[in-house]
Amino acid sequence: MDDIFITWRTWPEARAALESDGTLDPPALERLDRAAAAALRWHGDQKRPTGVPYMEHLVEALEAMVRGAGETDPEVLSALLLHDTVEDTGATVAEVEEEFGPRVAELVDWVTKPPTDGMGRQAKRAAKAAYLRRLRDAPPEAVAVKLADRVSNVQRLDQMPPDFQRRYYAETITYVLPLAEGHPWFASWYAAWRERFAHLR
């Protein structure tokens, strides 16, 4: 598996690359400027479980979506940059819609896990499984957002604790790989990823 998306660490780095090679036109870049600024505003100084700034995850997912899957729709890419705002910050779907319109808000809503505060471990896992199964009914663009999100999460799975690796591998194989069936690039990427981490079966 050669496609690891870790070139961009910040939105300015991503923007410079997208602008220099003409991948996105100026109006699209301006829309993503707004989405990146909102993501930074809402996520603030949040860190990922690995300790890196949250924006690194968002631009990794963006790189996979653009460089890998070839997506250039600024609304889909904006939704990707904002995909964790409702789930992990104080932002609401209504606020996303107010700033970015109904389509971006709908895509963010589809990929937002329901709250599980106060649930036990088994209940949380059941709720997450239900959420992932629900994505089978999501619009293709929302599925693509989820697939790009998970690319960032699993591309360096070997750097996570061993027990997490096995659990996350199984979850990805069970629920995420079937979502990739209608998305050729993602299907190919996940097939290669599955083989790379086959020792976790």
Q: Which are the catalytic amino acids?
A: 87-88
Closest CA to 106 of 88, 93, 115: 93
Kindly tell me the burial class for residue 89, based on how many C-beta atoms sit within 10 Å of its own C-beta (0-12, 13-18, 19 or more). middle
Q: Are 46 and 89 in contact (CB under 8 A)?
A: yes
The answer for 114, left when phi > 0, alpha when psi is -120 to 50, beta otherwise, is beta
Count of C-beta atoms within a 10 Å radius of residue 45: 7
End-to-end CA distance of the chain: 17
Q: How far is CA 164 from CA 19, 157, 197, in A?
A: 37, 9, 13
Range 95-122 burial, b when 16+ CB lie within 10 A, else e: bbbebbeebbbbbbbbbbbeeeeeeeee
Q: Which helix (H) or strand (E) holds 75?
A: helix 74-81
